[in-house]
Structures are given as C-alpha cells and as structure tokens.
Chains A and B, each alone.
Chain A
Amino acid sequence: MKVTLNIRRFNPEKDEKPYRKDYEIDVPETFRILDCLDKVKWDIDGELAYRRSCSHGICGSDAMMINGKNMLACQVLVKDFKKKYITIDPIPSLPVIKDLIVNMDSFFKKYEVVKPYLISKEQPPVKERLQSQADRELIDEAVNCILCGACSASCPSLWSNENYLGPAAMLKAYRFIFDSRDDAADERLDIVDTTDGLWRCHTIFNCVEVCPKEINLTWHISQMKKKCAMREL
C-alpha cells in the first residue's frame, strides 16, 4: 500500500524555519504510523528525528500530531486513515527541539507542582498499603496515564496561557486526591484550586478526544472542581 507522509521538519542547526516534506513509502496496511516513520528513517532519511521507545503504547514518548490530531504514532495503523496522505507534526504549544521532538520541560514542571507522589502520614506498613475495591475504582482510569502529553498539548486554554497547569498535571492531582491511601488531599486541592489550575478549564473536551488511554480527563477535573466548591461551603 502506497502512503505519503507529509512531515514537518526542523533542524535548528541547519534550518532557519520549519518546512514540510513528503515521503512516499510502500508499506503493509497493518503498519503503524510509527513503523512508517521507522521506514522513512531507516531507508530514506536518517536525519528524521522523533521519540519512541516501547512501540506499544506504554512509554508515552511518541505523541505527535497526526492529521491534525494528537495521538501515539505506535497506536494507529495506516489502514485507520482513509486518505493515504498523512500529515505529521510535533504536538503543538511546546518548543520544538528537532523535527517531531518537543521540549517537555514545562510539561513536567507542571506535573511536579501537584506533588505526584504518595504522601502518607501513617507509619509505613510491613507489607503493602491495602485499599478496598470501591476505593480503587475511584482512581481506575486516572492511574492509566502514561504522561504522553497529548492532552495538555491539545488544550486551547493552555495554548493561550502557558501558566495553566493543564489536564495531565491535574489528572495526576486527582489520582492522589482521590486515593484512599494518600493523606495530602487538602494540600493538593489548594494547589489546583487556583485560577491557573482547575478554573482555567472551560470544559472544551479536546483532551478527552485525544487521550490514547481513553481517559475522561474533563470528568476528573470536574470532580475536583466539585470537591473545591464543597470545601468552600
């Protein structure tokens, strides 16, 4: 099957500004977009740069904008696309380092702001920290995040204001706020209950549409909004 990849290229050492280039390849229809990129890199242009590691939707390193939508290149097949002319861009709103590789520093700084680790005031148990099934269900979806950045990079609120924490960081806040084993819910609610936190979310749902793990981010953000609102009463 003939496929054309239209890739946004930029090498800061050589190029003054980004440009687009077409790559025609012949691949089986069961190839993933990541395989197509590999083929381009290995057979046509070794300079093409992109991140990838696991190739199986686990590491979250190959989020990119394919045909205008953020997704994991390792999670979509060529046959998923009707037109075989496929555009590939780096995920938007983050500074491009080279080609499809973006600088994720601000993404991870925001992640650190919400204290993405267990804070327990209790003495550590000898074995594991137990949790009831019902309690675990509350965070079932939230723990699936692989920090690919597709959601935050698709959010118009974040495009217009870089100080907004963004959906990924807030999902992580949810993941601990609603974890029965964690004791720092209030501390974290104070962090997200700010104008550059929860309340910058205008329920646009772009994040939900792009998340490769099918996490309903907006629902999780709304649960925290509710909690903050109840706290004020």
Chain B
Amino acid sequence: MSTNSFKFAGGRNSGAKNWYMQRITGILLVVVLIGHYILMHATPESGHTYKAVMDRLHQPAWKVIDMAFVTLGLWHGLNGLWNVIRDYEMKPIMTTVLYTVLVLIALVFWFIGLNTILSF
C-alpha cells in the first residue's frame, strides 16, 4: 500500500465469466444440498442404514449426482477462497504459490471424492 506502484493487470480474462460460474455453481449447490437434507435428515423412510446407502451408491444416477456434488462444492468453495485471496495485494510469486496450493487441494480432494464414489 501507498507505494504508488500501480500496475494494471487487466485484459486477460473476463471477470463476468467468473461471476457467472460462481453463481451457477452456487445455485446448483443449493439444489443438491436441499436434496441431500431431505434425503438424509428429513425422511427416515428413504433409508439411512448402511445397506440402504450402499444400494443407492451402486446406482449410476446416484454416482453422477454425488460426483457433481463433490466437483461443484470444491470448485465453488476454492474459487471463492481464490477471490478473497485476490482482494489482497501480494507479490506475484506469492499469488502463484497460493494458486498452486488451491489447485493441489482441489485435485487431491477431487480424486479422493471420486475414488470413494466410484469404488462402490
């Protein structure tokens, strides 16, 4: 701050695209989350036993929904965190390091998530 070192980095990518993606993933997450709550917390008759859950996880449709849940959640959350980070001015190297860390977190958790879902 207060160094007068302003550099305009713009012109690379549209911020509007990012804005849309954050909203779209957000809305989808709300839908999936409501579904999740109804299924897992509000309707005991849908079956919460180990066996019932396993049966669901064996159906391809449920696999797709769960994979979407993992992907959307990771993207929305980490992209949000990235936006917060970018609110602060930091050295380019620091930005690159933090970006790499976020991408790694995304990849690792995505892999674990997908691996779990697909192993049934």
Contacts and interface: CB of A to CB of B under 8 A. Distances in A.
Contact of A162 (B11, B12, B83, B89): B89
B100 interface: no
For chain B, what secondary structure do more than half of its interface residues adopt (helix, strand, loop), or is it mixed? Answer: loop
A225 B113 CA distance: 35
Interface in A55-81: none
B45 interface: no
Interface string B51-80: 000000000000000000000000000000
Interface in B27-48: none
Contact of A195 (B2, B4, B20, B86): B86
A95 B8 CA distance: 19
Interface stretch (A45-53, A103-111, A133-141): A103-111
Contact size class for A? 20 to 34
Nearest to A110: B6
A199 B6 contact: no
Given A93-B1, A105-B4, A157-B87, A228 B10 contact: no
B16 A193 contact: yes
Given A160-B88, A161-B89, A191 B16 contact: no
B11 A161 contact: no
Given A95-B2, A110-B8, A165-B8, A232 B14 contact: yes
A89 to B, nearest CB: 13
Given A94-B4, A196-B9, 9 more contacts: A110-B8, A161-B87, A161-B89, A163-B9, A195-B86, A199-B19, A202-B87, A228-B14, A232-B17
Interface of A: 93-95, 103, 105-106, 109-110, 113, 157, 159-163, 165, 190-200, 202, 225, 228-229, 231-232
